[in-house]
Each structure stands twice: as structure tokens, then as C-alpha cells.
Structure 1
């Protein structure tokens, strides 16, 4: 499984291209051959997936019961705007204009790695998000990670 780490500040050029930072590119073996997929996030941001991770997600989605209206709606909205990205010879990717508009991204972006995906935020939106840290982060950690998610080795 891919385990991506780090936060990276980037800028888009006038054409909407973004240079993938070299430290991030090292964590994406095969991205130049296999490509990446960018999609809308659940909040006003974008998400970049390594191609193989995206294929796993699509395989999960294909197992859902598409005769149920909620399932069809979820699949429709989740995959809306999904676009293949390829790295050019300079290590840049072209982000689709419609997705940039959705996320309110104009120039300055933050790439925030989370496990096997990369969130792409307008810098200002990302800073606003982190400025609203829960009042008691320890309580949130206990709620989310509590007893049911304890490590199996008893720690």
C-alpha cells in the first residue's frame, strides 16, 4: 500500500500546470508510467490518487448495488470530474480548469498527503481549515481512535 508523507507548497502556472515536488515524486513510483487521477474532494479541495489506488476505489464502487438510488447518487457525485493526469517531461501535471474552479484554486496550492492520496487545497482555504482546529484535539482523538480502534498488540 502506498504511504505518502508531507505537505508541499506549490504554484500553478498561467496554464494551470503544477510542478510535482521532487520529494513527492520520489514517493510515487510508477506515476510517470501509470499516471495519476485527480478528482473532487468531499470538501472544497481536489484529491490526487496514484492510478492503482484509483483502480482499487473503482473496483469497490463497482461492487455496490447500483439499483439503489443513494448508491447511484454517491457514485455519480464521487466520480464527477475524475480526470487522468500525466506528468510531462518537466514533471508537471495539468489540472483541469473545472476542478480548479470547484476548489477555488487560482495559483498558490498546498499538497497535503494522507495515506494513499494527496489533497490539493487553495493555500488560503487550507490555512483557514487548520486555523479551525478542534478546541480539544485530545478529545477528538479519543472519540475517533478510542477503544474500538486500538492496536492489536495492546498498545
Structure 2
């Protein structure tokens, strides 16, 4: 799978269904055949994975020591609410109410592509998160992406 890109504004209908935007649907050709998976994000958002990306996550989790309590806690929270999403004939998916409640998602949502997954945010929470961008994004970029081993000490 190539990396997912883009940000999409969507609306949920009264039943919690969301139309997959055309620009995203093009990037997910396997979704109609294999479906998608949704689960809790690491913050107050939901995460959607293709079936192949989800299987990679499960492979990683299956290698953890099941006798380690911290591992079990992580797996429990990560897997909590994990649900297959099968697009209907019109391209809509039903987002589980329990997951919507977890993330505080209302009618207006933002889908943010994050390389190999899609984050589903409540629009207001997404706006707040974006507005809290660090004052100096360049410093964050250097801390995360910089080649510290190659830097000359000052």
C-alpha cells in the first residue's frame, strides 16, 4: 500500500454513518473487497486501517509477552472496540457508537491521513489540536527528524 495523504471534512448522519470521500476512496481500492478496521486512537480520535495494515498491527501485538501486565494493558486498550468497517453500496461506513463516544465525536468530523492510517477527529477537537501547534515547528522537526549523530557540537 502506498502512503495515504490528505485531510477531509465529513459529516455523520443520524445513525453514525459516514460517506468515504472520493479523494480518499481512490487511495483505498482494497477497502471495498477487504473492508477496513477502526479502533481507538492513542489520543481522543479514532484510527482506521486497511485490512493489511491492521494485520501488521496484530502481528506486532502477537509477539508481545502475554505474561507481562503492561503488555496486556496496552493490548486491551488498543484492541478495545476494534471493529470491521464494511462500506455499503453507496460508500458509507457505520462508525460504532461506543467509539464515537470514546473520542467525543459529533456530527462534523475531520479525517486526517497519517501515512498508514486515517485519524477520525471531532472537528472542534481537531481545530483545537491544530491551533496548539508548537510555536517553533522547526525545533520539533529537528528533534524528531534531525540527524543528531551527524551534528557538530557547538
- CA drift of 1:29 comes to 1.3
Q: What per-residue deviation string (whole Å, max 9, x for no partner) do you get for residues 70-94 of structure 1?
A: 1111111111110000000000000
Q: What per-residue deviation string (whole Å, max 9, x for no partner) do you get for residues 18-49 of structure 1?
A: 00001100000110010000000011000000
Query: What SS does the corresponding residue of 2:27 show, helix, strand or coil?
Result: coil
In 1: Cα distance, 2:149 partner to 2:131 partner:
27
Q: Residues 116-155 of structure 1 correspond to what in structure 2 (within 5 A)?
A: 116-147=116-147
In 1: Cα distance, 2:148 partner to 2:53 partner:
26
In 1: Cα distance, 2:146 partner to 2:7 partner:
27
Which structure 1 segments of 5+ residues have no match? 151-155
Alignment partner of 1:69 is 2:69:
yes
- TM value normalised by structure 1: 0.94
List 4+ stretches of structure 1 deviating above 3 A.
Answer: none
Partner residue of 1:56? 56
- CA drift of 1:2 comes to 3.2
Q: What per-residue deviation string (whole Å, max 9, x for no partner) do you get for residues 51-78 of structure 1?
A: 1100110011001111111111111111
- CA drift of 1:102 comes to 0.7
Partner residue of 2:17? 17
Partner residue of 2:97? 97
In 2: Cα distance, 1:149 partner to 1:67 partner:
37
In 2: Cα distance, 1:138 partner to 1:149 partner:
18
- TM value normalised by structure 2: 0.94
Query: What SS does the corresponding residue of 1:127 show, helix, strand or coil?
Result: helix
